[in-house]
Structure 1
Amino acid sequence: MNGAPGSRSGRVRVLIVDDEPALTELMSVAVTEAGWRPYPAADGESALRIARACAPHAVVLDGMLPDIDGLQVLRRLRYECPKLPVLMLTARDALEHRLDGLGSGADDYVTKPFSLEEVVLRLRGLLRRAGAEKTRADDSVRVLGDLVLTVETREVHRGSTPVRLTAKEFDLLDLLMSHPRQVLSKAQILDRVWSTGFDGGGNLVEVYISGLRRKIDKGHAPMIHTVRGTGYTIRPAQEAR
Structure 2
Amino acid sequence: MQKKILIVDDEPSISKLIEFNLKLAGFEVLCVADGEAVFQSLRVFRPDLIILDLMLPKMNGIEVCRILRNQNNAVPIIMLTALHDIADKINGLDNGADDYMTKPFSPQELISRITAIFRRIDTLPGISKDVQYQIGSLNIWADQRQVFLNEELIELTPKEFELLLFLCKHEGKVLSRQQLLHGVWDYHFLGDTRIVDVHISHLRDKIERNARNPEYITTIRNVGYKLQPPKVSTSSFA
TM-score normalized with structure 2 length: 0.50
Higher relative contact order structure (alpha carbons within 8 Å, sequence separation ≥ 6): 1
TM-score of the pair, normalised by structure 1: 0.49
